[in-house]
Amino acid sequence: MAHSRTGIMPSPGPASATDRALPSRRRHPDRERQSAAEAPDTLLCLDIETVADTDMPVVDPDRFPKPCWHRIVAISYVEARIAVDPATGHERYLVRQCRSGGNEDWDERRLLTAFWKFFAAGRYRIVTWNGRSFDVPVLQARALIHGIPVQAWYCRGDRWNGYGSRYAPDWHTDLMDVLSGFGASPRMGLDECAVALGLPGKAGEHGAHVADQIARGDLAGVRAYCETDTLNSMALYVRHALLCGKTDAEGHDASLRSLVDYLAAEGRTRPHLRAFLDRWMSSSRPAPMFVADGA
């Protein structure tokens, strides 16, 4: 119990209006600049591919490597503008690009530096599959090793709404986590969920093949595989947005048509995108791709 020189310290009593208006602590400058107008306005459906970092000291060779022990060889994403209907608040997602960061001759440090600079320059809602447990921790751990600052991840948003909050899907939606009820039901694999909706899924590819591809010098194949994972995640996110009311049937269909149109255009010069679209359009699916009446 605190005491004054004359006895027990008196209770401070209820806070005044002036006291309540004062900030309880100083905030990081990036947090001070954050406002509702700076909330995410772009989807970034993100995926990485890694191999074991053989230059790191081996701690436990019999266990799956923890984040620090993964060397990143590809960072891929689909970027889509979030368009909001002012009358209803419903969203639709207009695809801008699907690509892998950097060039094939970039080392990991350069790849990470460019990615985190790109991330800091935008206002992104991150979409991943198992990204909260794998992709993001690896991106952060490898930045830690290389001494690359990633303050945009930590400083944007507020205590309850930001990239670090598991329950703030407007900032980071880990689809595997969300669709399992945050662990209440068994978690599905990306391939399982994609195929259930008539998407191409991994089409026989798997992350376990990446090390062999890198050993053969097939980084282009790894980057293409990583990009197709982001395409699956993008389409799954659109259906999830319909499920939870972020979009309506018309917005859902407009978003998928935007993705289809992008793939058709880019597929003329990028065969793996054309192949993804062809498999998607020819898939036997349990339900239609489009859901609006008359679609």
What are the pLDDT digits (tens) for 59-82?
776 678 899 999 999 999 999 999
Q: What is the pLDDT of residue 207?
A: 63
Q: How many CA atoms lie within 13 A of 201 on its CB side?
A: 18
For residue 288, count CB atoms less than 10 angstroms from its CB and return exposed for 0-12, middle for 13-18, buried for 19 or more: exposed
The pLDDT of residue 192: 94
What pTM value is reported for the model?
0.85
Q: What is the pLDDT of residue 294?
A: 57
Residues of the chain with pLDDT under 70: 1-37, 61-62, 204-207, 294-295
User: Distance (Å, rounded) from C-alpha 188 to C-alpha 201?
Assistant: 13
Q: How far apart are the first and last CA of the chain?
A: 70
Q: What's the confidence (pLDDT) of residue 284?
A: 82
Q: In what order do the strands lie in the sheet with 172-174?
A: 91-100, 70-84, 42-52, 124-128, 172-174
Cα–Cα nearest to 254, from 265, 267, 266, 241: 241
What is residue 20's predicted lDDT score, i.e. its pLDDT?
A: 45
Q: How much is the pLDDT for 212? A: 93
Provide the pLDDT for residue 244. 96
Task: Give the start-end residues of each E strand in the chain.
Answer: 3-4, 7-8, 42-52, 70-84, 91-100, 124-128, 172-174
pLDDT recorded at residue 275: 96
**Please, what CATH class does the domain formed by 30-281 belong to?**
alpha beta
Q: Could you report the per-residue pLDDT of 146-203, keeping only the tens digit for each?
A: 999 999 999 999 888 999 999 999 999 999 999 999 999 999 999 999 999 999 998 7
DSSP-assigned letters across all residues of 205-224: --GGGHHHHHHTT-HHHHHH
